[in-house]
Structure 1
Amino acid sequence: MNEIMDIKKAVDRLSPDNAKSILRLVLHQIRLLKEQTASPEGAAAGLMELYDRLMTYDDRKLSWDPDPGCTHVHIVTGESFAGSMKLALRELGRADTHKIVTLNDNYAIGPIGGLDTPEGRQARRDWFKHNIAAALEDDADSEAEYDALLRKLDQIPEQAEIIVWASRSVYEQTGMRYALHLLRHKPNAIRVCDACAICDTLDKRPDHSETYRRSGEIVPDKLREALLQAEHGSRLSAGDIRRLAEEWTAIAEQGGVLRIWRDGAVREVPADHFDPYLLEMLEQVTNAADAGGFVKAARIVGAAIGHCEQDIGDAYFEYRLRELIYAGVLEVRGIPAGLRYYSVRRK
């Protein structure tokens, strides 16, 4: 009973904006677990971390304020990876000196031009609002999140080494380049580490081979080993940082809404790049069709995520499925307001 009262008090102390932000984080973690696109351990660690923060809430603790003795700052992409990273650092006894900054936005999709300006950020929010059914974007919240990110990066102590984590995932590769664009004037030593590549090497043996598509799939015990290995990585030169930051600028200026990771680079592709692939997935899951030949949208998108080498997320696939409906390629039954609410078949 006392614990229930403590939870009530913790919730009552939250401002409306903080409450909405926390609810989004919780729903995002549950969604990742339902879709099996994140490790259960990482998602659970993120939720437990959030619980601990809420139960000991005060303004100082919810603001990101690294200790002056902070030695490392890890910049990661996605809440699932952040949860695993927090747990791994805690188990290594480094939670006090190693801090985490999380990039939550998926820069593989949507316009990314001019994000340093209010107009560019508004254009991106507008695109999500008009095209991504699952988007929980709010103008005020998004601007607050952007300001909070800049504040966190600005507060990194000069002596702290910055480690930006990016695997072969285009979601992480675009995030890494954006991070280096924002960090390009910082005096700190910076290195880029690939947790998936490190774990692939550690796991290779004759009787076992596991390949990770994104860092969020790595369980915390494997991530601990990756953290120890990362200490031996080389630091980026000023030229490396400038090159990667300029790559972000060049990609952003192209003006498209879809990027993939191919041949070791982030490349823009047409918005309908995955349309033939989605139609192929529809053919592969026709055994799940009902008597009328309709297949649930969630089943098609789930198959697309499971077989795709690109890590762009389910929201973009669902957006293109709706575009195929609007183009007359697919017939729809139900209301395309979310994956659970409609089914499609070839026209």
Structure 2
Amino acid sequence: MIHVVFEKANVEALRKSFELDPSMDGEIAEVQDDFAVGPLADVDTEEGAAARLQWWKDILAGGHNEGLADDGHVDDQKVVRELKAKLDENPEEIVWIWAAQNKHDVSGYYWLMSQLTEYQGRIYILYLNNLPFINEKGNIFYPTNLFQIQPKEFVKAKKLARVITPSEFEVDPDEWTKLCNEDKGVRQLEGGKKLVSRGYDYYDNELLKFVTKEWQKGNKLLQQYFSKSKEITGDSYLLWRLKYLVEVGKIEMQGDWRNMKDFQVRLPGTNAEAAETTSAEASQS
């Protein structure tokens, strides 16, 4: 059995459940790219994948994650090749794809399963779609990420495993092709497995709500964004959007982008400028 997850934190969370249920024990493969953002045109071709990689390099340049896409350790195509090789080598091998109800996991699911159509009957999905679980305090909650689930709850969740149906293998790759052809930059989840395409600027207005007229450190700004906003995405993408908002004059920045604590942002039209205006007016009177 090979498990596939779409986030590093999910790997360890799932692995802990193996101690409680050895029947679940197996290799865990991680798809690292966040297919909920970025270009998708021809992403399943060598040229399209290269273009997407270059986009990530541009996004990460000059930020705290600079170089992350350059060292070669993120290679999801290699993950797919290895999965296929193991399925070919062992006719009894199966794959369990774990996905929570969030745009990151669902986008990853579409990308992955569309490349595994020749293994119908051996690819399973465990989709935690609006399902209740028990948290550490014994209360019912609805997780949006796998890592929020206790190990014993993973053992219960295994009952959700089902084979991806032939009709899904027919319809879902078409849905992925549609998203790739739209290539708008952002994918949002609208219930179930329905993803809708948005523009690259989708998060800009929400991000601007947390920028004030006073200088504010980048880490504090993003902390407020992640704690209060319903529509969130990765910090590297948000940092890229902040840089864009600086370029177009919607916010001002000072400091070094490479560390969230080393740069500050604010809205144009500051108190300092207001004070200078007041001082100038006073000298004229």
TM-score for the superposition, normalised by structure 2: 0.81
CA contact (8 A) 1:78 1:102 kept: yes
- Between the aligned partners of 2:17 and 2:144, the Cα distance in structure 1 is 19
- Between the aligned partners of 2:206 and 2:92, the Cα distance in structure 1 is 48
CA contact (8 A) 1:261 1:310 kept: no
Q: Tell me the CA shift for residue 209 of structure 1.
A: 3.6
Could you say if the C-alpha distance between residues 140 and 279 of structure 1 is closer, same or farther in structure 2, counting changes exceeding 3 Å? Answer: closer
Could you say if the C-alpha distance between residues 191 and 141 of structure 1 is closer, same or farther in structure 2, counting changes exceeding 3 Å? Answer: closer
Deviation by residue 1:98-144 (Cα, 9 ceiling, x = unmatched) = 3322111111111122222221111111111112332501275455x
Q: Among residues 109, 114, 117, which one is paired with 2:42 in the alignment?
A: 114
Aligned residue in 2 for 1:85: 14
CA contact (8 A) 1:125 1:139 kept: no
1:178 paired to 2:111: yes
Relative to total residues, which structure has the larger helix share, 1 or 2? 1
1:210 paired to 2:141: yes
Aligned residue in 2 for 1:48: none
- Give the gaps of 5 or more residues in structure 2: 269-285
Q: Tell me the CA shift for residue 159 of structure 1.
A: 2.3
- Between the aligned partners of 2:230 and 2:93, the Cα distance in structure 1 is 35
Q: Among residues 159, 168, 173, which one is paired with 1:240 in the alignment?
A: 168
Task: Name the SS of the counterpart of 1:182 in structure 2.
Answer: coil
Q: Tell me the CA shift for residue 332 of structure 1.
A: 0.7
- Between the aligned partners of 2:92 and 2:155, the Cα distance in structure 1 is 23
- Between the aligned partners of 1:304 and 1:296, the Cα distance in structure 2 is 13
Deviation by residue 1:193-217 (Cα, 9 ceiling, x = unmatched) = 224644x2x439xx93423221222
Residues matched between the structures, number = 259
Aligned residue in 2 for 1:138: 70
Aligned residue in 2 for 1:24: none
- Between the aligned partners of 1:216 and 1:120, the Cα distance in structure 2 is 31
- Between the aligned partners of 1:279 and 1:296, the Cα distance in structure 2 is 14
- Give the gaps of 5 or more residues in structure 1: 1-71, 287-292
Q: Which has the higher contact order (CA 8 A, sep 6+)?
A: 2
- Between the aligned partners of 1:75 and 1:272, the Cα distance in structure 2 is 30
CA contact (8 A) 2:120 2:169 kept: no
Aligned residue in 1 for 2:189: 261
CA contact (8 A) 1:92 1:224 kept: yes
Task: Name the SS of the counterpart of 2:29 in structure 1.
Answer: strand
Aligned residue in 2 for 1:251: 179
Could you say if the C-alpha distance between residues 307 and 223 of structure 1 is closer, same or farther in structure 2, counting changes exceeding 3 Å? Answer: farther
CA contact (8 A) 1:82 1:102 kept: yes
CA contact (8 A) 1:257 1:271 kept: yes
Alignment RMSD (CA, Å): 2.4
Aligned residue in 2 for 1:154: 85
- Between the aligned partners of 1:224 and 1:197, the Cα distance in structure 2 is 18
Q: Tell me the CA shift for residue 95 of structure 1.
A: 5.7
Deviation by residue 1:247-291 (Cα, 9 ceiling, x = unmatched) = 1121112222211112441111011111111111235xx8xxxxx
Aligned residue in 2 for 1:273: 202
Could you say if the C-alpha distance between residues 137 and 194 of structure 1 is closer, same or farther in structure 2, counting changes exceeding 3 Å? Answer: same
Q: Tell me the CA shift for residue 338 of structure 1.
A: 3.6
- Between the aligned partners of 2:53 and 2:226, the Cα distance in structure 1 is 24
- Between the aligned partners of 1:209 and 1:224, the Cα distance in structure 2 is 16
Aligned residue in 2 for 1:223: 154
Q: Tell me the CA shift for residue 148 of structure 1.
A: 4.1
Aligned residue in 2 for 1:47: none
Task: Name the SS of the counterpart of 2:114 in structure 1.
Answer: helix
